[in-house]
Amino acid sequence: MRTLQPAARAIRSTRPPAKPTAENSSQAASRIRARVASASRACACSFRSDISSPALCPDFHLHDLALTLFVNVYLLAEVIMQEAVKRAIEIDPTSSARQRTIDITTIGAKSGRPRRIEIWFYRADGEIYLSSTPARRAWYANIVAHPEFLFHVKNGVRADLRAIGTPVRDAETRRRVFTSIVDDLNQPRNPAGLPQPVAPVAEWMNGSPLIHVTFPEEA
């Protein structure tokens, strides 16, 4: 199984650098996934070719087969993780307080230091938002100054997602999103267990921060 050996070398070359920095960790993960996918294709093609041969290849190595299985298990686990994360952030009006809760790590607007807090996130028209009851919030100032932050999923699955936050200042968009949020929080079923009614939309419009969250695809 000669053609499996280059694939094995491709996998062995995917070790990430020691202690990757915050700036290069996502790029390193992308390179690893790309190399693993490439190696998986090479392994799969080689394996299919050799088992169809009338004679067993003399340099067949069990570790090559094990490597093929490892690669495919790795890729399957990643798909399962991606689906679990997708489900975790697709909250709806039936979602509990726990399901709405995440952590975010922002960079301090003045200090430049990481700041991690617990916060609720909201979903309106299929988009993800961060907000709060009317007040000045340090996390909002941090995202305005440094739009890239970490969105830490911790309900059902744990994942640290690179996110971009964009302040929502357009009055029409703010009213639409806040109306959706207030209607959700005031629903009779009240799955989040909040004191009701919450502040009216007009108060949210005047004093609540609103951040639209997107998750950029890694190259």
* Distance of alpha carbon 163 from alpha carbon 111, whole angstroms: 20
Residues 196-206, mean pLDDT to the nearest whole number: 94
| pLDDT of res. 87 | 80
* Distance of alpha carbon 197 from alpha carbon 141, whole angstroms: 28
* Distance of alpha carbon 84 from alpha carbon 99, whole angstroms: 13
Distance of CA 2 to the CA centre of its chain: 38
Tokens of 185: 């929080």
Q: CB under 8 Å, gap of 24 or more: what pairs does 111-115 form?
A: 115/139, 115/142
Q: How many CA atoms lie within 13 A of 27 on its CB side?
A: 6
**Cβ–Cβ under 8 Å, residues 117 and 108:** no
- Close Cβ partners of 28 (under 8 Å, ≥ 6 residues apart): 16, 17, 20
DSSP 8-class letter at 110: T
Residues 197-202, mean pLDDT to the nearest whole number: 94
More confident residue, 150 or 92: 150
- Confidence check: pLDDT of 191 > 60: yes
Tokens of 150: 């970490």
Using one digit for the tens of pLDDT, what is the confidence trace for 155-176?
A: 888 999 999 999 999 999 999 9
DSSP 8-class letter at 51: H
Left (φ > 0), alpha (ψ -120 to 50) or beta: where does 112 sit?
Answer: left
- Confidence check: pLDDT of 29 > 90: no
* Distance of alpha carbon 86 from alpha carbon 89, whole angstroms: 6
Q: How many CA atoms lie within 13 A of 12 on its CB side?
A: 8
| pLDDT of res. 173 | 97
Q: How far is CA 39 from CA 12, 48, 62, 64, in A?
A: 10, 14, 16, 11
